[in-house]
Amino acid sequence: MSKNTFRDGIFDGKVLFITGGRTGIGYDIAKNMMQLGANAVIVGRDAEGLAKSAANLEREAGNGKKCIAAAADVRDKNQVRAAVSKTLEAFGKIDFVVCAAAGNFLVPIDGLSENGFKTVIDIDLLGTYNTIKATLHPLRETQGAYIHISATLHYRGTPYQPHVSAAKAGIDALSNVLAVEEGPRGIRSNVIAPGPIGETEGMKRLGTKGYDPRSVIPLGRQGYKQEISDAAVFLFSDAGKYITGQTLVVDGGHRHLTHASLPYPMMVLEPEKVKAMFQGKL
């Protein structure tokens, strides 16, 4: 994938605040935005890993743009607020916010504990809420924009994903309310819902063993992380300035073929077969 999908420098002078930016899709969004001129702050719990990722992002951007590591647990509102204060001290403003922090594991409803359910809700949904609350006033100053990384799991009954499905559905709803309430102040809020994206932790855990993408994805392949980050760039760019309250699904048409290609719902009645189907641990 080329990094030159968009014109160089379109985000010069802009500041990105991104949770979950240490690895995966979040990292790729930060890289793409920095290569196009933005400075960035990446947020996550692993301080040492964040510092390494921030240094790598500056190196990969190759244009003198800065990336700051702000260690914070998105479940703790005070830690998120401290990360926002660190951003404002360094750059004086925030233009764009990406909520990409997430947690996941495979488990049926019958085996899902209240604590396990709450953990994922707290990371995904409460973490998104905490991030919105901490960044809302700075974004009002810049008439900035939010992007929330969701999923397509809750568009159907995806087995062994009850906690994540509930959390992502809540994120979608929260983004819509944010778009309506803050639109008059110039703030936009949108969701990107990735489908099967190769080389991500999600696919390592949720991908089925030996499956042929052509059997479940009309475009015949898994997506690339850059295709998600390019979607984020589009929504943050001037081309997306009249788009708010939307969910941009980037899945190659996967959701339209899944019912025909995977044995739902009968497979969930035979847990041993489900365990054999998924790559991740149960």
Angle between the N-to-C axes of helices 225-236 and 24-35, in degrees from 0 to 180, rounded to the nearest 10: 50
Residue 150 annotated among the catalytic residues of the structure: yes
For 9, left (φ over 0), alpha (ψ -120 to 50), or beta? left
End-to-end Cα distance, the chain: 34
Structure-token pair, residue 138: 């700075």
Options 168, 175, 189, 225, the catalytic residue: 168
Q: Are 98 and 21 spatial neighbours (Cβ–Cβ below 8 Å)?
A: yes
Residue 229 annotated among the catalytic residues of the structure: no
Q: Say how far apart CA 112 and CA 251 lie, in whole Å.
A: 27
Options 53, 150, 189, 229, the catalytic residue: 150
The residues annotated with a catalytic role in the active site are: 150, 168
